[in-house]
Amino acid sequence: MCIGLDTDINKIPKHLLSHADPMFAFNKAIIDATHDLCVAYKINTAFYECQGIRGWESLQRTIEYIPKNVFTIADAKRGDIGNTSTYYAKTFYETYGFDSVTVAPYMGRDSVEPFLGFSDKFAIVLGLTSNAGSQDFQLLKAGDGLLYEQVIRTCASWGTADNMMFVVGATQADSVASIRKIIPDHFLLVPGVGVQGGSLKDISEKGMNGDVGLLVNASRAVIYAGHDEKFAEDARAAAQAIQAEMATYL
């Protein structure tokens, strides 16, 4: 299980707003309550960037607080060419110390490769996403297949299963079997379970490989399970429920 720290300042319990850093206070409580239940935390940087320098400080405190044995994902969806991509990679891998960062591959090889040149780091490439708009481009015909299949196949040739993962939305479970034929060994980051309606059962049955191969993300369903002083306890209970279901598929 991966837990998404998509911390919205407008949704955290009101009693936290008196803290010097309300977003970090919220994240700290969630991490304390759940770190033994998950293998990764995913931080969607948009929720922090919009707060300016204070948001970046909250992000830094959060990433430094996460236990070192827990995998960290910067959900930043970066992707540009040349030195720009290199500096995006340095930002998240070196300055903030994330283990991975999500990458948009639309600009091609030279927008993805800079994220692959760091030891023990992962580029997590957008493959087939869970949003309704995924059909606008990702499901278009391309050659003998669909565009997302070509994207995954081509991107996989630039890296390895040891430095590249792919985002595949849980709402796209029907396509996972064909994706596994293209990338049988890569890990998949799977958002969309919970609030977005993705089925953990379906994605587990169709996407699991010999190494499990799935990082299933739950964000709002966990971190906003409660809204009062017991929010962290409620988040733990929600995470335990997801973990219990996962255990039945392992």
Whether 246 and 1 have beta carbons less than 8 Å apart is answered as yes
The whole-angstrom separation of Cα 191 and Cα 172 is 10
Say which of 77, 121, 201, 206 is annotated catalytic.
77
Nearest to 59 by CA among 9, 104, 10: 9
- Beta bridge partners, 229, equal none
**Residue 157, C-beta contacts closer than 8 angstroms, at least 6 positions apart:** none
Q: In whole angstroms, what is the distance from residue 245 CA to residue 240 CA?
A: 9
Task: Give the H or E element holding residue 165.
Answer: strand 164-168
Q: Is 201 a catalytic residue?
A: no
**What one-letter code names the amino acid at 244?**
A
Q: What burial class does residue 21 get, using C-beta atoms within 10 Å of its C-beta: 0-12 exposed, 13-18 middle, 19+ buried?
A: middle
Name the token pair of 180: 């596994």
Instruction: Give the helix ranges, DSSP H, for the chain.
Output: 22-34, 46-49, 53-65, 82-90, 109-112, 134-137, 147-156, 173-182, 200-207, 220-223, 231-249
* 103: nearest Cα among 64, 58, 159: 159
Q: Which residues are part of the catalytic machinery?
A: 77
